[in-house]
Amino acid sequence: MMLTGTQLFARRRGTAQWLTTPLTATTSFFPALRLELVRETILLASSVSGSSVTHISAGFARKYVVKPAPDQLEQLQAIVVQGRSEASFLKSATGEVDVFLGVPGDRLERVEVHVSGTDPSGGTKQRVDNWVDLRQARVAPIKPPDSASSVAPESIFQ
């Protein structure tokens, strides 16, 4: 799988054919990968905890628990609601973003996003638990596939 600023590319293991779909249509699957949204969520958070030291992978990190503001809850779940529907959605919506900064060095090591809520228009309950582990590395620029077939978002992983 590969993400660009606007597209999600996916290829099944053992095949050569790449599929692509607009990234905006798949953001509810991968909120932790949207680092710009995670940054915005932290800046606009309703609360950010003090740090606690925890063990991750093969080391230690400072963990911060971020409670998203209502607007960020909607963005993290990729849901658009207005008026009475918004109030109804926010009653059922919960969210937490856990940010892990490495010890020593304070480098971003891991982001976990845990959100849930009920879509007021159809009553669909949604729960997303998503994380990304980050490792510092030097790599050459990665070019997206030239010949990817466009598919509907719900078909990208089929």
* Average pLDDT of the residues of the chain: 87
Q: Identify the CA nearest to 41 among candidates 11, 23, 68, 59.
A: 68
Q: How does residue 44 score in pLDDT terms, banded at 50, 70 and 90?
A: very high
Residue 71 has pLDDT above 80, yes or no: yes
Residue 142 has pLDDT above 90, yes or no: no
DSSP-assigned letters across all residues of 22-39 = EGGGGTTT-GGG-HHHHH
What pLDDT sits at residue 115? 92
What pLDDT sits at residue 151? 92
What pLDDT sits at residue 76? 85
Q: How does residue 114 score in pLDDT terms, banded at 50, 70 and 90?
A: very high
- Tell me the chain's radius of gyration from C-alpha atoms: 17
For the structural domain made of 2-155, what CATH number should be given? 2.50.20
Dihedral angle of Cα 37, 143, 132, 122, to the nearest 10 degrees: 60
What pLDDT sits at residue 3? 80
Lowest-confidence pick of 30-34, 60-64, 95-99, 121-125? 30-34
Q: How does residue 82 score in pLDDT terms, banded at 50, 70 and 90?
A: confident
**What pLDDT digit, counting tens, does each position of 121-135 carry?**
788 888 889 898 888
Residue 33 has pLDDT above 80, yes or no: no
| Contact indicator for 80, 117 with CB cutoff of 8 Å | no
What pLDDT sits at residue 31? 76
